[in-house]
Amino acid sequence: MIDFIKHHPWQIIEEGFNPENQEAAESIFSLGNGKMGHRANFEEYYTGKSMQGTYISGIYYPDKTVVGWWKNGYPEYFAKILNAPDWRGIKISIGKQKLDLFTCKISDFKRVLDMKHGYLQKTFIAEFPDGKKIAVESVRFLSIVQDELGVIKYAVTPLNFSGEIDVLTDIDADVKNKDANYGEKFWVEVEKNYLPYPYIITETKKTFFQLCNAINVVFETNGDAFEPSTFKSFEREKYIGQKYRINVVENQTTTIYKYAAITSSLNYTKENLVEPALTILENAENIGFDGLFDEHKNAWEQKWLESDIVIEDDVAAQQAIRFNIFQLNQTYSGKDERLNIGPKGFTGEKYGGVTYWDTEAYCVPFYLSTAEENVAKNLLKYRFKHLPKAIENAQKLGFKNGAALYPMVTINGEECHNEWEITFEEIHRNGAIAFAIFNYIRYSNDTEYLSKFGLEVLIAISRFWAQRVNFSEQKQKFVMLGVTGPNEYENNVNNNWYTLKMASWTLKYTIESLGFVKKNHSVDLKRIIEKTNFNEIDEVGQWEKIIDNMYFPFDEKRNVFLQQDGFLDKELILAENINPKEKPINQHWSWDRILRSCFIKQADVLQGMFFLEDEFDTETIKRHFDFYEPMTVHESSLSASVHSVLASKIGEEKKAYELYLRTARLDLDDYNNEVAEGLHITSMAGTWISFVYGFGGLRIKDGKISFAPFLPNNWKIITFNVLFRGVRLKVQVVKNEIAISNLSDVDAEVLVYDSDFIVHANDDIVIVRNF
């Protein structure tokens, strides 16, 4: 764990510079705007340990799969979001002395991530070997209004001398990914020039995406712009820079404004990358830093009006939930249905920066409640557009008749995960994608999505499930062999309950959806039947047979569903009995030992009960929680949030709060000793779920939004905002009182502890509950 982050309700603060914390801080202080992002690497020279990272969403490289033993069906490559050209450099020298935060004497260092307004600020005093001192203040942001624009304001003040300072501003495209096979670099130079602004065009190998980075630098003293006395251009392959020499006066501040435009062939033709980049720079200079900063801050304030959560008198919890919301909002904007959410977002390279089932299971609920409908809808349309690839993926594994297996990991619809127990066995991801369709429609009432997009996906997934099970003569039931459930500390098991349950549920939901579309969208159904060659009588008949005869492992003695066949053959040990020095076990134990143990990485059976809560009474959920949670080590970032929601459901206040803090501060406190690799962005949506669905008790019941708040003893008042079918609601909870404000122009019908209430437009109600 780490402890260098100061508690503050709206800011992430680091005071004092310790190079040992730098890589962790680079992750924590990252910035993004939905289209691009970067780690909090320094603008200055830095020869200490660092993981450079600048990322453009949607631009990737298919790095060849490296395995010891190739198996039929393996993906040919592992997709990676690339470390992109770095435009941030503002490198200071005095004579031959470089401002290097690793080698210079640094004092009064402070780094602040302002979450309310979406910017990073850094201040420090540097002393050079010859005794000269300068004070530096930098502010940078990636505009969420003009999302191809990055801005830096860099102020330098000589404290004990007057003289000359050299300033090198550059674009460095000679970059590589830390996890690249054989140290390979993925960018080649296409073109560069200095006029009218310095720019460089680069292209990715194999995928041939092109990117234009262009910069404009403005110097200012006492509010007046000036031209430096001299400057010199530097260039080499995949690099362009300009060094300026400026005269400085003791205690007088010189400010450097650096504007960067980043355009890509995702959005422009390759022949037309430079012109829009130069236009962006011209507009930026005309508006100026203050104008750009103001519009950016105003846009962030609007985001917080829609998604903020307030926890009074618990600064650690308050800081954590806002950090999670901030990172989610700067990772995905929903403007482009070609883009999705990587587990690390724009904060690191691990997991390739590509899409997992985390999006459907965790992120969709967050965006449904905090953004306009199309934001979550675009996440679903991303999967719809990849349906042909999912069918192709299933065909590679021997499935037929339009069956679809969505990839465990993807950026373009193709599977690109290179571990066999994941690629071939962790097929439960199909269930999460089907459930997301149901969840989206249940929340939004956008039933047209089902007929236009959703039903095709459901049919293809159901075809997969129908072929993936087989009938066991011994059990006289349908079984599913050789799978891995959400608990990845079990591989190649038979009859994982969660996978069986989601398969059965998907078949049932697909049949219900067919009936709905037949009744309400018959023209669409005819189109779908023709497109998919669907045989309703035969296929639905087989699905119904599977639903009625699915096997679910169950222990009569404990009255619980078993995670998989043979689970009770394990030695059942509580996680609290593991030697603390051996935690996390995935960093200390052999894989053999982990697989033989009973320990659970993340919610498995309980994941199913979280999704399908309506099928289980509270007593059943509690019984399963009490059996499985004590054996759970929560070594997946996705684990604690699900358990926190269920703990709230069954009234386990202490456990709900403990697990909430674990998920909320997972990265800020670095519970798993891995934050240097990047943040856990998709699990941050789980943090939001643990709060709003757990403590806020949000559910959708009979087409109405429902609240059943459960307030931890540590908290006196909580407030959260949700958007439901065009109505913005603000909910405040105290111990026995719930106030709901309708911030919209239409009335809202809500359920509170299962009682109906009307909250009139632009009005509020207060409900007192007598316990």
Residues 6 or more apart in contact with residue 415 via CB below 8 angstroms: 75, 393, 407, 408, 409, 423
Tokens of 166: 């050299």
DSSP 8-state code for residue 397? T
Residues 6 or more apart in contact with residue 356 via CB below 8 angstroms: 343, 408, 409, 429, 682
Tokens of 397: 């594994």
Cis bond leading into 196, ω under 30°? yes
191 sits in which H/E element = strand 187-193
The maximal CA–CA distance of the chain, rounded, in angstroms, is 89
For 424-439, b/e burial (b = at least 16 CB within 10 A) is: bbbbbbbbbbbbbbbb
What φ, ψ does residue 248 adopt, rounded to 5°?
-125, 155
Contacts by 17-20, CB closer than 8 A, 24 or more apart: 17/101, 17/106, 17/109, 17/124, 19/48, 19/49, 19/102
Handedness of CA 324, 330, 336, 342 (dihedral sign): negative
Residues 6 or more apart in contact with residue 277 via CB below 8 angstroms: 148, 199, 212, 213, 214, 261, 262, 263
Query: Which stretches within 313-423 are classed as H helix?
Result: 315-331, 358, 364-370, 373-385, 387-396, 420-423
- Distance, C-alpha 138 to centroid of its chain: 27
Residues 6 or more apart in contact with residue 311 via CB below 8 angstroms: 317, 318, 321, 715, 718
Q: Are 174 and 184 in contact (CB under 8 A)?
A: no
220 is catalytic: no
The label of the residue with tokens 């990636």 reads 142
Catalytic residue among 26, 360, 488, 652: 488
List, by residue number, the catalytic residues: 488
